[in-house]
Amino acid sequence: ETGDHEKGILFSRSVFKGKLNAVVALENTENNAKMTLLTIQPGSFAVIDSSDMQVNSYEVNLGKESDSISDKIEYGDMVQPRSGKSKLDQAKIIVAAGRGIGDRENIGHIKNLAACFTDAAVAGSRPLIDMGWMPYEQQVGITGALVSPDLYMAVGISGSSQHIAGMKDSKFIVAVNRDPNAAIFNVSDICIVEESLNFIETFTGILGK
């Protein structure tokens, strides 16, 4: 998020795993560059029409012939990120599971629930990924994917600040949790207080899945 400021433009960014928002201003000095580079994690914002935008390409030379720059750069090893083919960034519907589903074997029920929708993607909270129940590519949260689908269904997810920061911009949020005080309910459009598997069995049963 950005905003006008008497000394320039203010930028708001999430810090401390989504617990706080820091407002940052560029240093206003005589040597301040006229161009600002921003890096944005995929899924941070909803897709907009970019047909009217102008894209400029710039060539940056960081080779040894640029002595003023090369002296300040150290080249280390190249490390490939832990990534694979993830559908979360483009998914219009995401069904996400948390520790509330109980056992690893119950991920099959989450997939059955996702199958009730057209081209829905399956995701998980960080605890599930840390336990190896799902690959990292399916993690939603500050340290995973930031998503904003049309429908986000959170099943058995308590709602840590880290997870909420990754999915709070979803257009419609349905949360299922047995705890009526679960934090995930604070950002949900529909709150269902129920055991995860009971809800899934009832929902899929109604649809005949």
Q: What is the mean pLDDT of residues 29-50?
A: 65
Q: Is the pTM of this model over 0.75?
A: no
Q: Would you state the pLDDT for residue 205?
A: 82
Residue 123's pLDDT is: 96
d(CA 174, CA 29): 48
pLDDT one-digit tens code per residue, 107-129: 999 999 999 998 899 999 999 99
Type and span of the H or E element at 191: strand 190-193
pLDDT the model gives residue 73:
67
Q: Show Cβ contacts of residue 22 under 8 Å, excluding neighbours closer than 6 positions.
A: 12, 13, 14, 15
Write down the residue that tokens 């009832």 correspond to: 202
Q: Report pLDDT for 96.
A: 97
pLDDT tens digits for range 68-93 = 555 666 777 766 655 555 678 889 99
9 forms bridges with which residues in the sheet?
A: 4
> For the chain, what percentages of helix, strand and coil (3-state, to nearest 5) are there?
25, 20, 55
Over range 7-15, report the average pLDDT.
72
Residue that the structure tokens 């960080």 belong to: 126
